[in-house]
A and B are shown apart, each in its own frame.
Chain A
Amino acid sequence: MKRANLTRQRLVLLAMLGGLLFSFPIVGLVDGVVLGLPAGYLYLFGVWAALILMAARLSEGGR
């Protein structure tokens, strides 16, 4: 139970971090073209993938 709670709290923190990174004004700072792709496209998918990776490690690693 204790272990599960710790994992849950870490996930909540991750959700807050995600909320921050997916919100203005931070999202609005991303601009231009990187590697021939729109920076916004790269940024959103990049942050999203990173969140998923961290969630997987936290959630499945916490058993």
Chain B
Amino acid sequence: MFPTAIVVLISLAYLGLLFAVARFAEQRAAAGRSIITPSLYALSLGVYCTSWTFYGSVGRATSGGLSFLTIYLGPTLMLLLTGVIVKMIRISKAQRITSIADFIGARYGKSYWLAGLATIVAVLGIVPYIALQLKAIAASLGILLADPAAGQGFWPTLAITASLAVFTIWFGTRHLDATERHEGMVAAIAFESIVKLLAFLAVGLFVTFGMFNGFGDVFSRAAALPGIERLLGLEAVKPVSWAALILLSGLAIVFLPRQFQVMVVENVDESHVRRAVWLFPLYLLLINLFVLPVALGGLVHFQGAAVNADTYVLRLPLSQGAEVLAMLVFLGGLSAATGMVIVETIALSTMVCNDLVMPGLLRSTWFSAQNRRDLSGVLLGIRRAAIGVILLLGFIYFQAAGEAHALVGIGLISFAAVAQFAPVVFGGMYWKLGTRPGAIAGLSGGFLVWLYTLLLPAFAKSGWIDPGFVQSGLFGFSWLKAQALFGLVGLDEISHCLWWSLLINAGLFAGVSLATRPDADEAAQAERFVDVFRLEARGGAPRLWRGQASPEALVALLERFLGAERAHGQLAGHAQARALSDWRRLPADAAFVQFAEAELAGAIGSASARVMVASVVEEEPLGLDEVLDILDEANQVRAHSRELELKQAELEAATGELRAANARLQELDRMKDDFVSTVTHELRTPLTSIRALSEMLYEDPKLPLADRARFLGIIVTETERLSRLINQILDMAKLESGRAEWTTSSIDVGTLVREAAASLEALFNEKGLCFSLSIAAGLPPVLADRDRLTQVLINLLSNAVKFVPQDGGHVWLSVVSVEDAVRVSVRDNGPGLTADECGVIFEKFRQGGDTMTAKPQGTGLGLPISRQIIEHFGGRLWVESSPGQGADFMFTVPIAAPDA
């Protein structure tokens, strides 16, 4: 075995190494190059695994089989709820929250009472847990030295406690940080996490593959032991206990003060959570992988010998003479214990200082007498003293309990204590109606039930108090039996406590909250907690402060509690954020007051910060209604801006429509102008010639008869043209305005075509053209206006006649039936149309042929009118043509529906 001096020396060297790691991290942080990476953050969460895990898991596995795993499955599941954790981090950063007690106090109106109550719950719950770590260190030391006295002696354990206190003070309170962040400590904790994992894996591999031939061998040899079945299977597990432990550990991973410290307070970047979500559970998995093999290996190896299973991890290597490995295991256990003690006591000391000592101090006469003195040193002193006192309490508890029962289940008792934070914290994060009285009632109710059903019975089992209230109930009332409250039996003590305490806790919290009204501070804080993401997205919480402040007083306040140097640094940062070069020019407005309060909250807790700020500024208190109005206003502004956005989008859409409509109107206006000028022009052409000829006839009575007859002939033709033009314009106007009269009837297109062709025969003969007519047999009737359809046909035919050459022209007219329509085609062998012309020919006053040189042959309205008519019937009129190939005008008229 090892000489004492060597072990002590190695232990001190190891602690020295931790110092070095921490120092390195702090130097890097000071240089602005933080070594806190996402993975390091995840490893620092490994502070969850204390000596209770390192030594105790094996012990639990020898009695409860696989159920020891529940303690690690709960955290795995809880971490998956990243939304909750990130929200907690965001709130804590926004409010400069430095502990779980401060979180609770701040949420319910920055309440002294609530933060103090939470602190008491935490301290009472955790001190035994610290005692457990002291015991583990002492016991492992005793085994390593083969000197049980070292594990129990008063002086050795006091020495261990004292060195831990010094160590913790050095780590946690070297300086007063504005955000209570300790990067050195986090780095050291992460380092310790690696050491304890490696140590446990080493002993696991040693037992599984060194002492046995792999997993299969361990399990098969253990299976031969009597009563081992129970440990290997899950049949013996009680479902309720199993579920209760998963819930309990899931809550503990968030609410244990040390976990809140590393997970929330020490978090430097929210995105680190993404890594922790899986890396921390992976860590837990690895550190538990060999627990069952080691436990079974120990049972096989120490068969019959009275060896405490909690010590298998250390005793198994020692039994094989593997002293180096045993030393490594001892260091692993030391890591697990010191890591827990350091973080937990730092977290608790912050709570004790800010939430228990400060409130009293700030009201004391001593404090008034110390007016204007720099108090940052005093704060540090209080925290250091708190660390010492907490560790001393742990030491006393350990000494008093010794080997007594009160140490065995202490881990879970602590878990159950901090689980009481769950209703007020989760309720506070997601429910605005939770009030301070509700939170105080819930938390104290749950705490008392925990005390009565779990802690006091543990004391009773150790023989410290009369166990009567457990065995027969308080005052002999059997329904008050501490572990069968209201006659609830059949549950293990943890499930029993968890059920009643959380029921009463949550019930009182919700019930009392709904029965009371929040005051202004609570309403404001509720808003800031529950809506933290929404408020930040909108650029910060509404400023709920009104009053008169002097910048000097606020600066002096900051200097007092942060120290001048630190205060000036923070002030400069704030000034810079507000685009001011000098913090001395900061206006004493609401933003400055809130900044000062937040900075103070980081140092002395939110409740004390509130009181201190209120003492140096003249505040006009805001009533609840006023606060609600302001918050309401903020909501209204939010709603208004959303409404405005909608309105704007609507307006833009309307503007677009209007613009389009305007463009269309301008186009129509232009078309109208074009139309009027074209019509005027068209009307004037015949009118001019009529007038010229009439004047000649009027002025020259001696005109020869032949000329007279010729002139009169022209006048008649031009008049006819004029009247035709006017008729067509009127017709067009009627069609376009929809005032045309239609007499629809069922028509046989073949007959109609024949009649139309016959009526034009004279015209064909005059032009000397060849006319071919083909009409398909059995055409279905169509529904149309006979006269109008004739008008279209005659228009198309006379167009064709117009464009075919004199003598040698050919016009084909064919009627066929296509799908659900009758198609009429009028084809000629005229000059044809270009592709462009095919498109525009249906526009008004567009004429076929070259209008610039030749005299117009028509009115330019025939085709547009025809198209209007055909479209009215539901058909289509179009032209197919290419230059030199003649033109083929076609239209379709849908056939009449059978029932028409």
Chain A residues at the B interface, C-beta cutoff of 8 Å: 1, 5, 7-8, 11-12, 14-15, 18-19, 22-25, 27-28, 30-31, 33, 35-41, 44-45, 48-49, 51-53, 55-56, 59-60, 62-63
Contact = CB atoms under 8 A, between A and B. Distances in A.
Contact of B278 (A19, A24, A37, A52): A52
Nearest to A30: B234
A15 B80 contact: yes
Nearest to A15: B80
A48 B83 contact: no
A44 B243 CA distance: 14
Contacts of B747: none
B651 interface: no
Given A24-B243, A27-B234, A36-B220, A49 B285 contact: yes
Contacts of A28: 234-235, 237, 239
* Most A CB within 10 A of own CB, among B69, B79, B233: B233
A31 to B, nearest CB: 6
B750 to A, nearest CB: 68
B292 A52 contact: no
Interface in B212-253: 215-216, 219-220, 232-235, 237, 239, 242-243, 246
Interface in B83-99: 83, 86
A59 B278 contact: yes
Given A11-B277, A38-B233, A22 B82 contact: no
A38 B274 CA distance: 33
A41 B749 CA distance: 91
Contacts, number: 107
A59 B273 CA distance: 9
A30 to B, nearest CB: 6
Interface residues of A: mostly helix, strand, loop or mixed?
A: helix
B181 interface: no
Interface string B254-295: 000000000000000000001101110110010001001000
B539 to A, nearest CB: 15
Contacts of A41: 66, 219, 232, 292
Contacts of A8: 82-83, 86
Interface in B460-478: none
Given A11-B82, A12-B83, A28-B239, A48 B234 contact: no
Contacts of A44: 66, 69, 73
Given A8-B82, A37-B219, A52-B76, A60 B234 contact: no
29 contacts: A7-B82, A8-B83, A15-B80, A18-B77, A18-B80, A19-B77, A19-B246, A22-B73, A23-B242, A24-B243, A27-B242, A28-B235, A28-B237, A28-B239, A30-B234, A31-B235, A36-B216, A37-B215, A38-B219, A38-B233, A39-B233, A41-B292, A48-B73, A51-B76, A51-B80, A52-B282, A52-B285, A60-B278, A63-B274
Nearest to A11: B80
B239 A59 contact: no
Interface in B62-84: 66, 69, 73, 76-83
Nearest to A56: B278
A23 B243 contact: yes
Given A36-B215, A36-B220, A41-B292, A25 B274 contact: no
Please list the 5 inter-chain residue pairs (A to B) with the smallest Cβ-Cβ separation, ordered nearest first.
A24-B239, A36-B216, A15-B80, A56-B278, A38-B232
Interface string B700-711: 000000000000
A12 B80 contact: yes
Interface size class of B (residues with CB under 8 A): 35 or more
A12 B79 CA distance: 9
Interface residues of B: mostly helix, strand, loop or mixed?
A: helix
Given A15-B81, A22-B73, A23-B246, 5 more contacts: A1-B537, A37-B216, A40-B232, A55-B281, A59-B82
B234 A40 contact: yes
Nearest to B231: A38
A29 B461 CA distance: 36
Given A24-B239, A40-B234, A60-B275, A55 B285 contact: no
Nearest to B73: A22
A4 B401 CA distance: 49
Contacts of B77: 15, 18-19, 22
Contacts of A11: 80-83, 277
A52 B281 contact: yes
A56 B66 CA distance: 25
B80 A55 contact: yes
B472 to A, nearest CB: 33
* Most A CB within 10 A of own CB, among B66, B216, B274, B285: B274
Contacts of B220: 36
Nearest to B283: A52
B224 to A, nearest CB: 13
Interface string B467-503: 0000000000000000000000000000000000000
A16 to B, nearest CB: 9
A15 B535 CA distance: 28
Contacts of B82: 7-8, 11, 59
Given A12-B80, A27-B234, A59-B277, A45 B289 contact: yes
Interface string B199-222: 000000000000000011001100
Contacts of A15: 77-78, 80-81
A23 B81 CA distance: 18
A40 B275 CA distance: 28
Contacts of A1: 537
Contacts of B292: 41
Contacts of A27: 234, 237, 242
Contact of A51 (B81, B234, B246, B281): B281
Contacts of B73: 18, 22, 44, 48
Nearest to B282: A52
A18 B246 CA distance: 11
A62 B219 CA distance: 41
A63 B271 CA distance: 10
A11 B239 CA distance: 25
